[in-house]
Structure 1
Amino acid sequence: MKNLVNVALAYQAKGMSVLPLLNKKPLIKFADRPALTADEIKKLWKKYPTASIALKTDKFFVVDIDRHENGADGFNSFDQLPKEWFPETLSQTTKHGGKQLFYLKRDEMTLHQMIGWQPGIDIKEHPNNYVVVAPSDGYSWENKNPIVKAPLDLIRTINQSRATKGHTNRVSEDLNLTRERNSTTDVLETIASGLGDQGQRNKALAALCGALFFRSVKPRLAYKLVNIANENSNDPLPQKELDRTFESILNREMQNGGG
């Protein structure tokens, strides 16, 4: 197989997080680590000259369409979705006849990875996930389009589908629990179910922050919990907005002698 170091360097120069693969498995530890530098890429491909190329899905996400033998046909599923959700963007064909559409993430709305979003269609988004890319063996770019931003309607739909499919039917909502509910019950349910609908999210976030600080939760852990609540929302707040509200409530608590 041809040495792909120059292609890997070209991706790196465009700001992509490059990974070397053999048999679709990364040759380095990469989770929560900075992107490889040009010098690191050169050294790795000198050591592994037949390595394929993968890109971390940290700046973009992929709509992964596939056909499964005796299973779901992602192309049929895709044809039934609104075309305006999928503007022209960079796309490639995959080794087994699939197709991947690349879209930039948006700062103003968080997207969540969702395997099985539609029958035969996955959303690969996690910053520690990756996709094999052309010209790795079996992969080919369909066009030279730039990667464009995903429409907000597409992101909302994916997040709503994730929230809906995340619900379990194994436990009835109407169970007659013997213990009484209390304010801590509300806090835990907010974390699990999210901050509510648009227009109520900031108020719910502020209330959750206050409730956590009232219960003497350490700020570092409280910050993690409010982020979980935001991620569990159908329409999450932008990260900057969440951070601004959290810091405001934290500063108020510190001024009042809390923390």
Structure 2
Amino acid sequence: MTTTSAIADRTAAALAVLARGLALFDLPPGEKRPESGWQQRTTTDPEQVRRWLAAGRNLGVGCRASAVVGLDLDRHGDGADGIASFEALCSRYGQPWPATLTTATPRAGLHLYFGVPADAVVLSTSGGTAGLGPGIDTRGPGRRSGGYLLAAGSVVAAGTYTVARDCPIAELPAWLVPVLSASGRPR
């Protein structure tokens, strides 16, 4: 694997995610919503992940178990473009696009993964309520069970989640930490 190549094969993509230290859990085939108790099923065991994939199961990244924050940059039919919003946010703060593990979603969106600083509390938000810009949601470790994102290797009606950028997971950039408060909204 190279550090910036896209990985499309389901198993290779899932194993690349595991190799970066993310804890995965299974979801029903073709689904985006997990069954109850998913928090207790997170694992970093490649053999378990292979069994889930062989059974056609989808995979999720447990943000609390993985100690990560996920930025979900959506591109939906409502005109919100999370990628353009994040580019504008980077520009506003005079920062480059962060180099971190990135998953491409079937609808041309991205999931960016960042390690969580010990003192940061980031909750999950949806519908652009993170205040980072239209089309940007957060998936954080939260205070209890935390949020999740579908992992590379998952398949839904719209297509397959793939690894778009295979590189180490960067720490949540210092410039983003004060932008997010414990509520997941900007300060």
Bigger CA radius of gyration: 1
1:11–1:91 Cα change, 3 Å: closer
Q: Deviations over 1:133-152 (max 9, x none)?
A: 22223111122210010112
d(CA) in 1 for partners of 2:90 and 2:10?
40
Q: Deviations over 1:183-225 (max 9, x none)?
A: xxxxxxxxxxxxxxxxxxxxxxxxxxxxxxxxxxxxxxxxxxx
TM-score (norm 1): 0.52
| Percent sequence identity over aligned pairs | 26
Partner of 1:129: 147
* 2:101 corresponds to 1:90: yes
Amino acid paired to 1:49: A
Number of paired residues?
A: 161
Partner of 1:57: 63
Amino acid paired to 1:157: V
Amino acid paired to 1:156: P
Partner of 1:146: 168
More helix by share: 1
Q: Deviations over 1:92-147 (max 9, x none)?
A: 21011111111111113333333322211101113432111222231111222100
**Residue in structure 2 matching 1:112, options 112, 116, 123:** 123
Partner of 1:100: 111
If asked which structure has higher relative contact order (CA below 8 Å, sep 6+), I would say 2
Query: Where does 1:151-170 land on structure 2 (aligned, <5 Å)?
Result: 151-159=173-181, 162=184
1:163–1:69 Cα change, 3 Å: closer
Contact 1:91 1:142 in 2 (8 A): yes
Amino acid paired to 2:71: V
Contact 1:104 1:148 in 2 (8 A): yes
User: 4+ residue runs of structure 1 moved beyond 6 angstroms?
Assistant: none
d(CA) in 2 for partners of 1:16 and 1:3?
16
Q: Give 3-state SS (helix, strand or coil) of 2:38's partner.
A: coil
Contact 2:18 2:44 in 1 (8 A): yes
**Aligned-pair RMSD on alpha carbons?**
3.2
1:110–1:8 Cα change, 3 Å: same
d(CA) in 2 for partners of 1:106 and 1:85?
20
Contact 1:63 1:102 in 2 (8 A): yes
The unaligned stretches of length 5 or more in structure 2 are 1-8
Contact 2:103 2:112 in 1 (8 A): yes
TM-score (norm 2): 0.69
The unaligned stretches of length 5 or more in structure 1 are 165-233, 235-259
d(CA) in 2 for partners of 1:121 and 1:76?
10
More strand by share: 2
**Cα offset for 1:82?**
2.3
**Cα offset for 1:7?**
6.2
**Residue in structure 2 matching 1:45, options 52, 58, 67:** 52
Partner of 1:19: 25
Contact 1:85 1:151 in 2 (8 A): no
